[in-house]
Chain A
Amino acid sequence: MTRRVCVAGVGLADGPKTPDLSALMLQAQAFGRAAADANMTKQEIDGLASAGYGGMHEVQLAEYLGLTPHWLDSTSCGGSSFEFHLLHAYRAIQAGDVDTVAIVYGNNEFSAAGRSLGTGRAGGGGAAAMPYPMSWELPTGLTLVGAYAMAAQRHMHQYGTTSEQLASISVQTREHAGRNPNAMYRDPITVDDVLGSRLVADPLHKLDCCVVSDGGCAIVLTTEERAKESGRPLVYVRGAAAGMTHHSIQAMPDLTVTAGAVTGPKAFTEAGISPADVDTFQMYDSFTYTVLVCLEDLGFAPKGEGGPFVASGALRLGGALPTNTDGGGLSATHPGMRGLFLMCEAVRQLRGEAGDSQVDGAEIAVAHGSGGWLSTMGTVVFGTEPA
């Protein structure tokens, strides 16, 4: 019988703007807080995972922290890297290869670069140094936002999805940000505010795009036995799955279907749940369209009906599927990559520690990360009880 796996600790670094903290400082701060939350010393953590934009992220961090872990994961496939890390760590702990793994991310994205909305930076060295697939896109003037925009445009064409429906995602997420004192933007907005914000890449407006912030996050994953010793409310990993469909948007097989259509059902099956069982959903909201398409892919709404689903107010606290209860990437925190923050918020909800954004009696929470250009997807199901 495989071992059960729990989250014993979560930690958030300072944010959303931390001009005096480097990326490694944010990572170390989040790590220290997660370890303290788990009532663990760093010596008890024998596995480490992290992702970033260079290489050997977790190796650098281990050295910085003074750790010598015997299990490492540097999977770096964009914003969903951390759901991949969790999947790998979950299996490794189940199998007994490692007992306790910290997954860590932090970056001073805002303070180092400012708000560019994914429209301002050429990769160092330009097209000659780009990954081969991207070297075909860069010369067209396509931006990161533009890649998502083309996918959204196709969804609108096929299913009649509207800009108003997409905007409603931003509006509901901002309501949650209003309850989070650490959110980057907290003032309420309306659908008209979103539609009145400037178009960045049609059909996506500025307020359809996530913020750029500083921040850091860490979670500590361990055995059920060890988690009980931490004294914290138990949060079980019930199921996890990860996958991909493409790297660059030109190669996305279907602009209206992500790998979430595979990872969602696979994780739900392992967890023994259906979409109707989910009490709160933490979804990587890089852009409003990311949320809409993944709501469909994971089965919360039929394909093509994500628009009416979100416009019904389903994402609100008290709605059918309270989503991004911390204010999400759209309003609260997005330090370059957000996948880890989703899982932290899911855990806080299941512990009853989500403050003014608490979903009463939450027992099942799903985190779904998206990376690249709708490229890489990872789904994790957490519960207050084991599967």
Chain B
Amino acid sequence: MSDTGVPSYLIPRVSPEAAEFFAGALRGELRIQRCPNCGLHHHYPRLACPHCGSERLEWITATGLGSLHSFTVIRQNGIPPFKEQVPFVVGLVDLDEPGARFIAQLPTVAPEDAVIGMRLRATYRPASDEVAFVDFGPDA
């Protein structure tokens, strides 16, 4: 565990297909996979395109911009540190890159300000030497 304050049980093991994603997030870049065969993007990273099945994937640096597809306000979560953080917003973000949807915490969006369709921008939060989490906040 590093000194980021993120409990170790929240930090995923870096699976091989996700190594590029986490390396990018640590640099402050949103790296996602694009499929040259069907032209669509996806997230989380995979061996093959979940849209068309092609294994010929390329990595791109996404704009980090997207729109809120849906959200919830978590008001009860028994696990630290969330237990102390409630209420907070978790959303599904449709990235501007077609095909990719991202689940993220929206720590800078107040529960009463969350609205479907709002424009969002990615921010990066190191969790360990190998992993950074991607949050989203208002694109102001």
Which residues in A have some Cβ–Cβ distance to B below 8 Å? Answer: 116-117, 119-122, 125-128, 130, 132-133, 135-143, 145-146, 149-151, 153-154, 157, 198-204, 248-251, 255
Q: How many residues of B contact A (CB 8 A)?
A: 37
Contact of B76 among A128, A139, A143, A150 (CB under 8 A): A143
Q: A157 CA to B76 CA in the complex, in Å?
A: 23
Knowing A146-B74, A154-B69, say if A127 contacts B12 (CB, 8 Å).
Answer: yes
Question: Which residues in B have some Cβ–Cβ distance to A below 8 Å?
Answer: 6-13, 15, 44, 50, 69-79, 82, 85, 88, 90-92, 101-105, 111, 116, 127, 133
Cβ contacts under 8 Å, B76 to chain A: 117, 119, 143, 145, 198, 200-201
Q: Is A136 within 8 A of B74, CB to CB? A: no
A-B residue pairs, 9 tightest by C-beta? A126-B9, A120-B78, A149-B72, A135-B12, A154-B70, A202-B73, A250-B103, A141-B82, A127-B12
How far apart sit A351 and B72, CA to CA, in the bound complex (Å)? 42
Min Cβ gap B68→A in Å is 10
B90 → chain A closest CB, angstroms: 5
Kindly state the separation between the CA atoms of A126 and B74 in the bound complex, as whole angstroms: 19
Given contacts A122-B9, A150-B90, contact A142 B103 (CB under 8 A): yes
Interchain CB contact under 8 A, A249 and B74? no
Q: Which residues of chain A have C-beta atoms less than 8 A from B50's C-beta?
A: 251
Please name all residues of chain B whose beta carbon is closer than 8 Å to the beta carbon of A125 when the two chains form the complex: 9
**Contact call A201/B74, Cβ cutoff below 8 A:** yes
Knowing that A150-B71, A203-B72 touch, tell me 15 more A-B residue pairs with CB under 8 angstroms. A122-B9, A126-B8, A128-B12, A135-B12, A137-B103, A139-B10, A140-B133, A141-B82, A143-B74, A146-B72, A146-B90, A150-B90, A153-B71, A200-B75, A250-B101
Name the one of A130, A136, A153 contacting B44, with C-beta atoms under 8 angstroms.
Answer: A136
Q: Are B102 and A250 in contact (CB under 8 A)?
A: yes
Which residues of A have CB within 8 Å of B73? 199, 201-202
Q: Which residue of A lies closest to B21 (CB)?
A: A136
- List, in ascending order, chain A residues with CB within 8 A of B10's CB: 126-127, 138-139
Tell me the minimal C-beta distance from A139 to chain B in angstroms.
5
Interface contact A127-B9, CB-CB below 8 Å:
yes
- How far is it, in angstroms, between the C-alpha of A126 and the C-alpha of B13 when the chains are bound? 10
Q: List chain B residues, Cβ under 8 A from A198.
A: 75-76
Q: B102 CB to closest chain A CB, in angstroms?
A: 7
Q: Can you list 20 contacts pairing A with B, beta carbon distance less than 8 Å?
A: A119-B76, A120-B78, A121-B78, A121-B79, A135-B13, A136-B12, A139-B105, A139-B133, A141-B79, A141-B82, A142-B74, A142-B103, A143-B74, A149-B72, A154-B69, A154-B70, A201-B74, A202-B111, A250-B92, A255-B70
Say whether, besides A140-B104, A141-B85, A199 and B90 are in contact (CB < 8 Å). no
Considering only CB atoms, which chain B residue lies closest to A198 in the complex?
B75
In-complex Cβ contact of A127 among B11, B77, B85, B91 (8 A): B11
Query: Which of B72, B85, B103, B127 has most A Cβ within 10 Å?
Result: B72
- Most central of B7, B77, B111 by chain A CB within 10 Å: B77
A199 interface neighbour in B69, B75, B77, Cβ under 8 Å: B75
What residue of chain B has the Cβ atom nearest to residue A127's Cβ? B12
Task: Please report the C-alpha to C-alpha distance between residue A200 and residue B74 in the assembled complex, in whole angstroms.
Answer: 7
Given A153-B116, A154-B116, A250-B103, A139:B12 Cβ within 8 A: yes
Cα separation A139 to B127 with both chains bound (whole Å): 10
Complex Cα distance A138/B9, Å? 9
Q: Which residues of A contact B103 (CB under 8 A)?
A: 136-137, 140, 142, 248-250
